[in-house]
Amino acid sequence: MKNIILILAVLLSASCFAQQAQTLDSKVTNVTLFLSGAQVTRAAQATLKAGISELTFTGLSENIDANTIRLTGEGSFTIISVNSRVNYLKTQKTVKDEESLKGKKKQLEIQIEDIVSQQGVLATEENLLKANQKIGTPDKGTTTLELKSAADFFRARFTELSEKRLELSRKQESWQEELNKIDAQLGEANQEEVKPTGEIMVQVMAKEAMNAKFKVSYLVRAASWKPEFDLRLDDISQPLELSRRAKISQNSGEDWQDVKLTLSTGNPNESGTEPRLSSWYLGGNTYNYSGYSKNKSYQPDQSVVEKPVVGYSLNGIVNGKVFDIQDGSTLPGVTIIVKGTTNGVITDRDGKYSINAKPGSVLVYSFIGMKQVSTMADNPIINIGMQYEATNLDEIVVTAYGISGESSSEDRAPVQKKEVIRPQNLQIESNDQQQVRSVKEYVISMPMSMPSDGKEYNLVIGAETIKAAYEFHSTPKLDRDAFLVAKVINWQDYDLLDATAGVFYEGTFTGKTRLSASLATDTLDISLGRDRSIMIERKKVKDYTTNQFMGSNRTVQRALEISLRNNKKQTVTLIVFDQYPVSKEKDIEVELVENGGARVEKETGMLRWEIVLEPGQVKKLVFKYTVKYPKERILAIE
């Protein structure tokens, strides 16, 4: 008897704790969109019974990073396990309005059928009228009055039938065009990729029945945003206007409807592993990680791709350094992107980078003023030596004062579609961290929706004015135009990021640049394009141009005059740059006879004038130099 009671107790206990499966209908509530990737938070409710329950979050993205899943809940229960999987049996199409299109198509087909029926009735009536146009009989003639009355009747009726037939024909044509568009859209929907769905399975144990609330968050890779700015200046007497935009896109496989969106400058793809130094050997079949050797012979006009033998294979992360091939100096701010994706990083102050890349993918290295480099990701360490290329005068360059090197170039990969999202009464909350490498967040105060279509959308996230000092720069030896430069001193107060900026000066779009705020120190100089209201001319002064021969040497005298005229209504500060030659040989002697009031750098031969020009004022700058050299030599001295 005791054994029977014990068996019944065990069976009863097992039945109480048997697993009970339940599918949860969850909703996306919060999304934190990173520069690469997004953290998605979903909420759901469930009614738990006493015992162990298996809960399944369905209809999720198939691109969930399983290592980032985090589950929290409200209620007296214990979470036993959390797992994820991809369900290939339950799929979802990327076009969500297919059923709506089919319903509209059916309605149009019924309307067109009704028109065809009405046209048939009109045709029958018209044929009937034509068959009965005769009036009178052979025995009895037709009076003039009867003939006129019959003619009026047939004319009016045929006209009415013709107008109705034309009206029906126009309706049929219009509805048929709309039907053709729906058929084309449905054809595209049928060709859309049918994607599997992701699922998260959770096991919880409760001692008693209860209502529980759950929140699950996870990271998806197929999402990103890029900060962008627009800089506008109508007149140099006004402050610089700055508007902030974000290019956002996601193709995670799940639509985000009315979510609380946060834009973060963080990058979850960055490695969190502490770097460790290994032994540094010189000589033998080893590798010098400095990335550059002055004793190494590099070919001119060719970039360098170094892939050293390190003893282990690529595991999904490529590390390396980017350097200037001419002098070996490291290059901060170089953009590295996995071709065909939005996955990209920027080199740090030491020119180092770390990027997630699958074996066989292509890495593209871009930097303003240097030739682009592409190479296959087939080694865990890839170092790149970049070459300079000819400067495009139409390109706007933004550099930090006192920092050598230029900002990285803009990714010009084409996008399928650009749309501007302008929410009303949009407010942005930004954190107040001021460290250069700090993570900043922009919280969108109103619910946002983003379809999973991979297209790029422009989101306007704010505008403000920037206090800046303006000065004009000119290098008349190379270009006769003056270029307006905005000098932003307290640039840290404006929360500027490394981003592309469009520049509008005096109502005209003058080009694009990439702000490198992470490299700035005290002052950020922003070129705002050409200003042709300042007239500049450079010419040779003939009276001072002479050639003298004495023994085996030749002495040449040169004088150059730079004429400046301010046609603006405001007083302007103009910085003028020029140069005279510098000798590298003992038998070539150069003397600057007159500097014209310029600040002189003897080592480089550079001349710099800082001129204040009143409205309408004209000023001339003259500098003179002589060059003495062997008369059999041919030198370019102008």
Closest CA to 322 of 280, 297, 352, 302: 352
Output the CA torsion sign for 167, 169, 170, 174: positive
Q: Report how far apart, in Å, the C-alpha atoms of 312 and of each of 316, 380, 383 are.
A: 12, 8, 16
What pLDDT does residue 193 have?
52
Cβ atoms within 10 Å, residue 622 = 15
Burial call 580-603: b when 16+ CB within 10 Å, e when fewer = bbeeeeeebebebeebbebeeeee
**Cα gap 607→434, rounded to integer Å:** 37
Q: Indicate the DSSP class of residue 239.
A: P
Q: With helix as H, strand as E and coil as C, how does 340-355 read?
A: CCCCEEECCCCCEEEE
- 223-391+400-467 and 535-630 in the same fold: yes
Does domain 535-630 sit in CATH 2.60.40? yes
Residues 249-275: pLDDT tens digits?
888 888 899 999 999 888 776 655 666
Residues 372-406: pLDDT tens digits?
899 999 988 999 988 877 533 333 333 222 222 33
What pLDDT does residue 405 have?
30
Contact 510, 402 (CB under 8 A): no
144-191 helix and 98-131 helix, angle to the nearest 10 degrees: 160
Closest CA to 85 of 267, 255, 218: 218
Tell me which CATH homologous superfamily contains domain 223-391+400-467.
Carboxypeptidase-like, regulatory domain (2.60.40.1120)
Contact 213, 45 (CB under 8 A): yes
- DSSP three-state, residue 463: strand
**Cα gap 543→44, rounded to integer Å:** 89
Confidence of residue 112 (pLDDT cuts 50, 70, 90): confident
Name the pairing type of β-strands 482-488 and 344-346: unpaired
- DSSP three-state, residue 302: coil
Q: Report how far apart, in Å, the C-alpha atoms of 309 and of each of 336, 359, 379 are.
A: 22, 16, 8
When the pLDDT of each residue in the chain is averaged and rounded to a whole number, the result is 77
The pTM of the full predicted model, rounded to 2 decimals, is 0.53
Residues 478-518: pLDDT tens digits?
888 998 888 888 777 777 777 778 888 888 888 887 776 66
pLDDT of 473 > 90? The answer is yes
What pLDDT does residue 407 have?
33
Burial call 472-511: b when 16+ CB within 10 Å, e when fewer = bebbbeeeebbbbbbebeebeebbbbbbbbbbbbeeeebb
**Cα gap 577→167, rounded to integer Å:** 75
- For the chain, what percent of residues have pLDDT higher than 90? 17
pLDDT of 563 > 90? The answer is yes
What pLDDT does residue 273 have?
60
Helix (H) or strand (E) holding 12: helix 2-16
Closest CA to 43 of 66, 64, 87, 74: 74
Contact 71, 218 (CB under 8 A): no
Domain boundaries, the chain: 16-94+195-220, 98-191, 223-391+400-467, 535-630
